[in-house]
Structure formats: structure tokens, C-alpha cells
Amino acid sequence: MRKQQIAILGATGSIGRSTLDVLTRHPERYQVFALSGFSRLDELAKLCLKHRPRHAVVANEADAQSLRQTLREAGIACEVESGMQALQDMASQPAVDTVMASIVGAAGLLPTLAAVKAGKKVLLANKEALVMCGDLLMQTLSESGATLLPIDSEHNAIFQCLPPSPARNLAACGVRRILLTASGGPFLHLPIEQLAQVTPEQAICHPNWSMGRKISVDSASMMNKGLELIEACHLFAAKPSQVEVVIHPQSVVHSLVDYIDGSVLAQLGNPDMRTPIAQALAFPERIESGVAALDLLQIKRLDFYPPDSTRFPCLTLARHAIEAGGTAPALLNGANEVAVEAFLRGRIGFTAIATIIEQVLQHEPACAVKELETVLQADQRARLCAQKQIEGLP
């Protein structure tokens, strides 16, 4: 059997590492063709030494030279390149079968689009590609014949609970609504008046999942779930009114699909990203992921709550953005990335994240999206506006 050639965009992140863990369990099926990394050069070098990819991409030429020397001294034949164009070239490389798109933030947009345009099997872990230009990406997907499989545990769960190859119309599948589950993050029960004083260290301590700093903060504010709501609308051709968010602290039920006949299908599993990664890698087959079997007798109970809009204003802002359409989700995402970075650097408080995003959405008008450049311009406007709002804070 020919080995599938895999390119991992964002190999040093949590998704990238989990993907490599799954791949190493099936050396007869998969081969690592290319890896990319941004700031963790030492870690990327170790991954290249272990997995011996034919290509690697880093942020800049200085890092590329350093990595080349390290690999050359180790006797590893690997072509090392740098920059955004190199990332896009790697994602669309003819020899690549499957692309894991796991670069965090807007930086993952262009290489993800390149992989889709090239007709690859794309495992989508980057939220921002669909959030920023979902309509354009889905149109490109239709034109190129690429395969798009969601890696977020929630969207992967929905994918598993929908009929095979569903029509681009939920009603035609007999679906009444989609239920996105959310853990509620580390501040689910913290008194609301104390949220303004929480620290970045507290925000990144997720109770169930091991994630990067930015995504962990998004989970604490529930912007993560807001972005997933936007993604779900594009992935499953759903109206915003057909997607509901439910707080589920145990993170065992990853999402549910409610059918008009009264059936509700749910996908359950331990909170480990190797499950959706393995499901998407082998789809429509099933392979071993390394995840332990779910023990319902040990879990004993599953709780569900409605989200509190006062505690989680970012979720409301995201819903308003997808309802407005056009560049509104791109504005939302750009403002959030700047605000979260400012919080992680100690420049603003936790509750100021939502305030800054709301101010950006009020100051920057949304417009229709006809081309990629429109999205990129909206992203830059949002970032500049968010930065001005941060600088104006006392």
C-alpha cells in the first residue's frame, strides 16, 4: 500500500504534536513529507530529526539557515525554506496527499487556502480560515474538488453525527439544529465581579484540554466557541439560528445533532485531540489513535447548562458577527487576536478583551466579501483599530 504523504502546518503546536503521535502509530500507512514551525525552532529541529521530512518551513531566512545547519550536521536531507510563500508552496506541493492545517490565527489563512485550491485532503484545525472568509473558502473547495475534514472536536463530532455526504441543506437531511458543546473554561463558576482581575496564568489553565496560550484564553472568554459557531455555519451550511451552544463541563459529549424525528445523535469520547485527528486521517476508515476507551461508569454524570451572556459577552459578539455577515467575522477575529495578545502581555485586563472587540465592530463598518483582498484589508483595519483602543486605555 502506498504511504500517504502528510504535510503539517504548525507542527510544533499541540495539534501538530498530536498528529505526529497518531502518524507514528501507523508507519505503514503514513509518511511525514513536510513540517512547518514559527517560533519554536529547537522543537521543530527535534521533530525533523525524528520524523525526517523532505521539506521544512520556518518564519524567516535566519531561522532557515540555523535549521539547515542543524539538520546538515545530523545528516538529514531536508529542504528548508522560509516565509509565507514557502508555506503556501508546501501546502500545495504535488507530492502531498493530506495537509494538516493547524497554524493558529490569521497566519494560517493563506496556506490553508492554497491547500484547498490544490485539491488536497485538508484536515482543518485552523479556525480563522473559515471565520475570516468562509464563503470564499467553501466556494474554492467546491471548485477544486478538495476534501475538507474538520479537526475541532466539536465540528468533527457534528461531521460524524450527520449522514454521509449530506446535502448542503440541513433541512434536507432532517436536521433541526446543531448543538455545540463548550466546557465553560476555567472561569465558569468564578464570580463575575472577579473576572477583571484574573491573570493570564489563570486563563490558560484549561480544566480539560491541553492547548496553546491563545486558544486557551479564547476558551476562557468563550470566543473560541463563538468562532466555532461561525465555522459551523460555513461547514454545514447552517443558519446562525440553527446552531446553539450548550455548556458541558465534562467535555465528554463533543457535540450533538438534533433531528426532526426527535432523535439526537451525539459523539462522545475522552477529551483528547488524537481522536478527531485519527478519524479525519483515515476517513472513512477507523484507526487506532492512542486514546483510552471512555469509561462512563467512572464519569457517572454529564451536566449541561445554558451559556451566560453576561459572563461570556464574546459569544454574543461572535453570533452578531455571523448574523451581520460580510467582513464582520474577519473584523471580530482580527480584534480578538490583538486583544488576546495584549492580555497575555499584561497590557489589558481579561474583561477588556470583549470591550475592545465590541468597540472595533462599532468603529469599523462591515462590507460584502467578493475577493480575498477585501478580507485581508478588513483584518488589518480591525488590528489597527484594536491597537488604538488598547493605547487609549488608562
Q: Which residues of 98-137 are buried (b: 16+ CB within 10 A; e: fewer)?
A: bbbbbbbbbbbbbbbbbbbbbebbbbbbbbbbbbbbbebb
| Bridging pattern class, strands 121-124 and 98-101 | parallel
Q: Is 154 annotated as a binding residue?
A: yes
Q: Is 75 annotated as a binding residue?
A: no
What residues contact residue 72 under an 8 Å CB cut-off, 6+ apart? Answer: none
Q: Is 127 annotated as a binding residue?
A: yes
- How many other CB atoms are found less than 10 A from the CB of residue 206? 19
246 and 304 Cβ atoms separated by less than 8 Å: yes
- Residue 101 sits at φ, ψ, to 5 deg, of -95, 90
- Residue 293 sits at φ, ψ, to 5 deg, of -65, 145
Q: Is 50 annotated as a binding residue?
A: no
Local structure of residue 87 (DSSP, 8 states) = H
- In angstroms, the CA 276 to CA 267 distance is 11
3-class SS of residue 354: helix
Nearest to 147 by CA among 100, 109, 209, 82: 100
- In angstroms, the CA 322 to CA 192 distance is 26
What residues contact residue 362 under an 8 Å CB cut-off, 6+ apart? Answer: none
Q: Is 224 annotated as a binding residue?
A: yes
3-class SS of residue 58: strand
Q: Is 60 annotated as a binding residue?
A: no
Q: Is 12 annotated as a binding residue?
A: yes
Q: Is 14 annotated as a binding residue?
A: yes
Q: Is 225 annotated as a binding residue?
A: yes
Q: Known binding site for Mn(2+): residues?
A: 152, 154, 228
Q: Known binding site for NADPH: residues?
A: 12-15, 126, 128, 212
Q: Known binding site for 1-deoxy-D-xylulose 5-phosphate: residues?
A: 127, 153-154, 183, 206, 219, 224-225, 228
Q: Known binding site: residues?
A: 12-15, 126-128, 152-154, 183, 206, 212, 219, 224-225, 228
